[in-house]
Structure 1
Amino acid sequence: MAIPVPVQTRATPATAAPLECFNAAPADEAVRTLLACLHSHAWAHRLTAHRPYPDLPALLAAADEAAYDLSPDDLSEALAAETLPTLPEDTYAAAHTALNAAHAAYESRFGHVFVICLADLSPAEALDHVLTAIRSRLANDPDEERLIAAEELRRLARGRLTSVLRGAGNCATSHGRPAPGKPPQTPPH
């Protein structure tokens, strides 16, 4: 008597995991998803071209490698699209003033916004960490600071990509894109 062997079934779009949705998405949609994580067209196209990824760690490793390979122009493109880190709403006015002054000094010195990954910090720790980091990094020479900013962008992209792919949910119609009118969830800067 033969034992029936279950037939492997391919996940349907309604039940597919977020990574499967990303892997199966049309290239332009995958690029848009990636640009929401790091605004470098070269980075997004490189990751899209190398699909499918077997698992999230493989995609994150490829994302890291592509981020390390950003040209100066690619890095400038990514930095230009970044916004300042946001403070918790209950932060007092003096902190906003100090942070705005620090951001202005940084942008004046380096020509781009200050970027920092705050993913592992509580909102209460974020303000002090940002102010300390800006003050410290203002002493860097421009080449050294671009390397640090590139590393912070890589960390931001990694966190955003993880968040987008873990939160993509049902991809029956969106292929991993957020619902219309809703931006992808990203961790704070």
Structure 2
Amino acid sequence: MSPSSPCPSGEFSGGETPGTFASLSRFNSSAEADALAALREVCASSAWAGRLLAGRPYADTPSLLAASDTATAELTADDLAEAMSAHPPIGRPAPPGAASAREQSGMTEASDALRAEMHRLNLAYQRRFGHVFLICATGLTGEQMRDAVRERIGNPPAREREIVRTQLGGINRIRLTRLVADA
């Protein structure tokens, strides 16, 4: 996986149509406050959630995902910071059952040495860029996540910001797909 690819290969391809129309229909017809709350669970950016909320109703899941991609591409630096504020550091996900715990499952079996190295790398990354290391961790091993932070920590800030945007887009796609599949 390249550090700029949004997710491990095979995780999601644009040709898939996850979810069902009935669950997307429920999302489309839910109360605005409920839909907004669900979207903010997917991505903490109020700008992103507002854009997706304003686009309802969506004809199908690919339309919803395309709207997410557009909204992610339009996020300002402040919007990206707001989105990243809800992401815990790799290796320290939110409580079990949270999306981050499921997404970071590759760290579950990591050795103490790998966890300690990830902690050090996370801190170094945060000092360099001012935010958590963000990666679409679904399907990645602890070693793959460690290798990605090692590779990306040397990036110029502007390049890293665009990689973060790409990674966030992949995370949002996975979470939206689950949202409309489970709605």
State the TM bucket, normalised to the shorter chain: 0.7 to 0.9
CA distance in 1, matches of 2:107, 2:83: 25
CA distance in 1, matches of 2:87, 2:109: 23
Instruction: Structure 1: give runs of 5+ residues left out of the alignment.
Output: 1-15, 169-189
* Aligned counterpart, 1:76: 81
CA distance in 1, matches of 2:28, 2:182: 15
Aligned length: 149
Report % sequence identity: 38
* Aligned counterpart, 1:142: 157
| Cα offsets for 1:30-61 (capped at 9, x unmatched) | 11111111111011111111110010000000
CA distance in 1, matches of 2:36, 2:164: 22
* Aligned counterpart, 1:97: 116
Q: Output the TM-score relative to the length of structure 1.
A: 0.75
* Aligned counterpart, 1:107: 126
The reply on whether 1:41 has 2:46 as its aligned counterpart is yes
Amino acid corresponding to residue 75 of structure 1 in structure 2: L
> The residue matched to 1:36 in structure 2 has which SS?
helix
Q: RMSD of the TM alignment (CA)?
A: 1.4
The reply on whether 1:50 has 2:66 as its aligned counterpart is no
The reply on whether 1:160 has 2:175 as its aligned counterpart is yes
* Aligned counterpart, 2:33: 28
* Aligned counterpart, 2:8: none
Q: Output the TM-score relative to the length of structure 2.
A: 0.77
Amino acid corresponding to residue 50 of structure 1 in structure 2: G
Task: Compare the two structures and name the one with the higher helix fraction.
Answer: 2
Larger radius of gyration: 1
